């Protein structure tokens, strides 16, 4: 169906009432709701949902470059291109009887290949499980002729909706090494406690466990993030000053969002022609008391 701006989006619903929305612009999940129809992702009230900017909120896909450390624009171009529905999603399995899902594909145009001179097929499946869990699976194949490998970095730049950033804790990243984008990407080591937030944060945690939890005490909700093929995790909140500097982000919205991004940043992924990489993210929620042991 059409989004309010006239652009195509796909709605996924499961019988218990959970839902997700995927814009073809960016192959971008803009909404994920639980059975009570509560929105679980943050989408800025100032997001434009149309070219040329990437959509501010939801789950932008950063490819073929994460961040600004490379030769192309910040976070690559997959997030601001139109994807199409993939009617031949091979090699995705077809046994998906208990899931609502959509398959999208993005192939570079000639203009894209002037920015990044490689041929690829990027297949994305977005699926909603029977318990309302949201699953994103990316398969990227090198379709370059003549033995030309390529390397890329990647992130599912997920914006979670939280009641109050000062009340949120992230578990699973304790004691890990991280690169701090606010301090010239220097290497630090996290303390033993769960992460809490009282100022701007922009960190790339390296080689993390596959499961990370975001505890929102006020909402009594815990997000669980499971990832596969994506060793790193980026944690970002722009806080007050940067929020004010972003045209597509409300001044106070930083209080109600937190990005925890399943990513492959430190070690770029290299594919030879014909090779394929797979990166998977699964998001679910559980009542807080279950996960925090309170």
Residues involved in catalysis: 157, 261
Tokens of residue 98, six digits: 């208990």
Size of the site for ligand BG6 (CB under 6 A): 10
Measured distance CA(31)–CA(40) in Å, rounded: 7
Site string for ligand BG6, 244-283 (x = CB under 6 A): -----------------x----------------------
Kindly state the smallest distance separating residue 265's Cβ from ligand BG6, in Å. 9
Tokens of residue 25, six digits: 């612009």
Binding flag, residue 21, ligand BG6 (CB under 6 A): no
Among 126, 128, 234, 283, binds ligand BG6 (CB under 6 A): 234
Among 38, 51, 69, 74, binds ligand BG6 (CB under 6 A): 74
Binding flag, residue 236, ligand BG6 (CB under 6 A): yes
Q: Which CB atom, from 66 or from 101, has the smaller least distance to ligand BG6?
A: 66
Kindly state the smallest distance separating residue 293's Cβ from ligand BG6, in Å. 30
CA-wise closest residue to 246 among 136, 155, 159, 154:
159
Among 33, 75, 123, 125, binds ligand BG6 (CB under 6 A): 75
Q: How far apart are the first and last CA of the chain?
A: 43
Report which DSSP code applies to 55: P
Classified as helix, coil or strand, 177 is strand
Binding flag, residue 181, ligand BG6 (CB under 6 A): yes
Report which DSSP code applies to 54: P
Measured distance CA(277)–CA(269) in Å, rounded: 8
Among 67, 76, 132, 231, binds ligand BG6 (CB under 6 A): 67
Residues 184-223 that bind ligand BG6 (CB under 6 A): 202
Task: Phi first, then psi: give them for residue 167, nearest 5 degrees.
Answer: -105, 5
Binding flag, residue 57, ligand BG6 (CB under 6 A): no
Q: Stretches 6-14, 16-24, 67-75, 105-113: which one binds ligand BG6 (CB under 6 A)? A: 67-75
Q: Which CB atom, from 42 or from 236, has the smaller least distance to ligand BG6?
A: 236
Site string for ligand BG6, 128-167 (x = CB under 6 A): -----------------------------x----------
Q: Which CB atom, from 102 or from 233, has the smaller least distance to ligand BG6?
A: 233
Q: Given the rule CB under 6 A, which residues bind ligand BG6? A: 54, 67, 74-75, 157, 181, 202, 234, 236, 261
């Amino acid at each position: 169906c059409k989004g309010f701006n006239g652009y195509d989006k796909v709605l996924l619903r499961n019988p218990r009432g959970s839902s997700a929305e995927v814009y073809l612009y960016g192959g971008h999940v803009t909404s994920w709701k639980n059975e009570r129809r509560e929105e679980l992702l943050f989408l800025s009230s100032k997001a434009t949902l149309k070219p040329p900017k990437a959509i501010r909120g939801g789950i932008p896909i950063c490819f073929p470059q994460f961040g600004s450390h490379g030769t192309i624009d910040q976070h690559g171009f997959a997030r601001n291109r139109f994807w199409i529905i993939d009617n031949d999603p091979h090699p995705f399995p077809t046994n998906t009887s208990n899931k609502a899902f959509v398959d999208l594909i993005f192939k570079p145009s000639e203009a894209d290949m002037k920015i990044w001179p490689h041929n690829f097929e990027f297949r994305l499946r977005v699926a909603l499980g029977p318990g309302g869990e949201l699953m994103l699976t990316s398969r990227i194949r090198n379709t370059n002729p003549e033995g030309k490998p390529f390397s890329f970095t990647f992130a599912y730049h997920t914006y979670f909706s939280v009641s109050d950033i000062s009340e949120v804790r992230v578990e699973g990243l304790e004691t890990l090494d991280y690169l701090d984008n606010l301090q010239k990407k220097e290497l630090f080591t996290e303390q033993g406690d769960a992460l809490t937030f009282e100022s701007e944060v922009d960190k790339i945690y390296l080689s993390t466990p596959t499961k990370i939890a975001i505890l929102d005490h006020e909402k009594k909700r815990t997000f669980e993030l499971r990832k596969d093929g994506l060793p790193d995790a980026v944690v970002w909140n722009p806080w007050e000053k940067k929020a004010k500097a972003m045209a597509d982000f409300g001044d106070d919205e930083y209080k109600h969002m937190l990005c925890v991004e399943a990513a492959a940043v430190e070690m770029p992924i290299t594919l030879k022609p014909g090779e394929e990489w797979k990166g998977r993210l699964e998001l679910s929620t559980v009542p807080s008391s279950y996960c925090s042991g309170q």
